[in-house]
Amino acid sequence: MNTVVVVPVRGLRESKMRLAPLFNQRQRARLMQAMVHHLLTEMPRDVDVVVVTRNPDGLAELAPLATVLPQDEAAIGLNGALQQALRYARDGGYRDLLMLPGDLPLIQHDDIESVLLEDGQIVVVGDRDHQGTNGLRIPTDWADSFSFSMGEGSYQRHLLEAVRHAVVPVTIYSPGLAHDLDTPDDWYALPETVRQRLTCAIYQEA
């Protein structure tokens, strides 16, 4: 499979600030680490994975599961990290890049396979409200022309970006891909078994 999966991760100290009413800084960092680790363990075996981050030391334990790519100082924010990753994928000879955020606690192997195997040049995965983008597969030969636009409203913006490239986008929705974890409401909406799993990771050796 000639696709690389890219997982952008902000510095762990800055992770999940909106969850501050529930968890302190160290606990939020552990939560992010646990979600990224879960995502990586659900990856198909024949897929290369790159985690791009400004805090590579905090994710060193992921090395057996993914390549950790330090984010360039000139690559500003999440969108800059993804532009850097897209150029990295093109230069590495990959045909496609699949972006998956690291905060998808319900994601399973089949969810990832569904995006990788979907026909179409560009595949856009929406969140529960079809506001954000929880998955995006694009050709790497768009590295010099594609504009990432992560954040609220990014789902529609990425659909329009596909149209700008004269491509009809394919859209996917599934609970495993749609449920990202940003707010206390997102936390309480998780199944109890998932919250228990994450809670164990949050409080380990705390």
Instruction: Output the pTM of the full model.
Output: 0.94
Q: What is the pLDDT of residues 44-101, one digit of tens each?
A: 988 999 999 988 877 878 878 999 999 998 888 999 999 999 999 999 999 999 999 9
Contact 80, 74 (CB under 8 A): yes
Higher pLDDT, 11 or 105: 105
**Average pLDDT over every residue of 108-116:** 96
Quote the Cα angle for 16-19-24, to 5°. 90
Q: What is the pLDDT of residues 160-196, one digit of tens each?
A: 999 999 999 999 999 999 999 999 999 999 999 999 9
Is 3 strand, coil or helix?
A: strand
Q: Where are the domains of the chain?
A: 3-202
Q: Which CATH number fits domain 3-202: 3.90.550.10, 3.20.10.10, 3.20.20.410, 3.40.190.80?
A: 3.90.550.10
Q: CA 138 to CA 71: how far, in whole Å?
A: 20
In this prediction, residue 206 carries a pLDDT of 47
Q: Provide the β-strand partners of residue 7.
A: 51
Label the pairing between strands 67-70 and 48-53. Answer: parallel
